[in-house]
Each structure stands twice: as C-alpha cells, then as structure tokens.
Chain A
Amino acid sequence: SQQGEEDPQALSIQEGENATMNCSYKTSINNLQWYRQNSGRGLVHLILIRSNEREKHSGRLRVTLDTSKKSSSLLITASRAADTASYFCAMEYGNKLVFGAGTILRVKS
C-alpha cells in the first residue's frame, strides 16, 4: 500500500503554541502536499513541496521534506483557535493523491 502514516493521531495545544505533525510514506513521490479539513467539510490545500525541495514556508506554516527518510513535517507557528482541524499529508503519484491517516489538531483558547 502507498498510504502514508501520520503522527500524532491527535494533538491538543494552547493558543500561541506551535504544532508539529509528521508524515511518513513508503514509495518515491513526485511531490508531497498538506491539506486541512474542518469538521464535516471538504479539504483545503495548504502547501506543496516538491521532491527536490527540502523546506518551504507559507505564512505561519513551515513544511520540511526528507526524501532519504521518506518523511515530512508540518509546523504551524503561533497557533490560533481557528487552526483547529484535521491535517492530512498527501503523496502525489502521477495524477493521484494518496492521503495519510491525518492528525486531529485542537487549539484551546
């Protein structure tokens, strides 16, 4: 199976703290993407990192990719209550995405 794994499964932090989520995958990828899903909603694309990139930033988001370890991490700095959601990594193979199991993030105000 190409499915990725994510940890932790759930994360609860206080507003203002940083949140780190990790993703690991099994086979070589074209790129790796992170998506957010609010409860009962569709997914929203956050950031894409290509296989030849090691780090990428977008606002309060920082993504790293280590292709030798087949792993990626998503860091959300200075978290806000509105960041409460599920976060999924997704590995791109051709035109298809294979999603990790997701991390449920709860930010308490």
Chain B
Amino acid sequence: DAMVIQNPRYQVTQFGKPVTLSCSQTLNHNVMYWYQQKSSQAPKLLFHYYDKDFNNEADTPDNFQSRRPNTSFCFLDIRSPGLGDAAMYLCATSSGGARGTQYFGPGTRLLVL
C-alpha cells in the first residue's frame, strides 16, 4: 500500500547532540511537510518542500533544518536539541493540487535527555 513511513518511531537523544529524523513516501507526492506536535497541542508546521523548493515557516527556530534529496525522502535535522524540542514530529505529504488532503506518517516521538 502507498504510504508515508517515518523512522524511527521513537528517538532518544542527549541535550545538544544532533539528531536526524527521516520520512519516506511511496505516494509520489510533490509536497512534503514536517510538523512538530507537543503534548495536547495542535500540530505546528515547521517547513515544507514543494518539489525542491524549500519553504520555512517564519517562527521555525534555526536549530531545525531539512533536506529533501529526492521525491521520496525528506529529513529533519535538529542541530542542537534542547529539552523544549521533545515532541512528536510528524511528516506529511500532499499532491499539491487543489484537493489539499495531507497524508501523515505515524510520527517520531523525540525524547531529549
């Protein structure tokens, strides 16, 4: 089945130690998104790629970066994780057309020690 896959499902890192979360999709969608979701809060968009065009949200900290080497893969890099970065990180895709439906992966829960 076509889907959005996130690895790992759980990630533990140390304060200040760089960490990379990965996302892959078999939907061949143009657009890929990264969201941060803290406990009992709404998902918050960090950035998205429309094809190779990177779009950063104005309030996304510089500590967060992303790479999209090809259509199928997208990575979220956290350069120096702080305790406040502990959250669920959700990857999503869409075709970019007028329909607008986004397809979400299961998420990676990040714990910062």
Contact = CB atoms under 8 A, between A and B. Distances in A.
A99 interface: yes
B50 A101 contact: no
B8 interface: no
Interface residues of B, number: 28
Interface residues of A, number: 23
Nearest to B99: A48
A102 B41 CA distance: 7
A98 B33 CA distance: 12
A76 to B, nearest CB: 19
Interface in A65-109: 88, 92, 95-102, 104
B107 interface: yes
A99 B103 contact: no
Interface of A: 3, 30-31, 33, 35, 40-45, 48, 88, 92, 95-102, 104
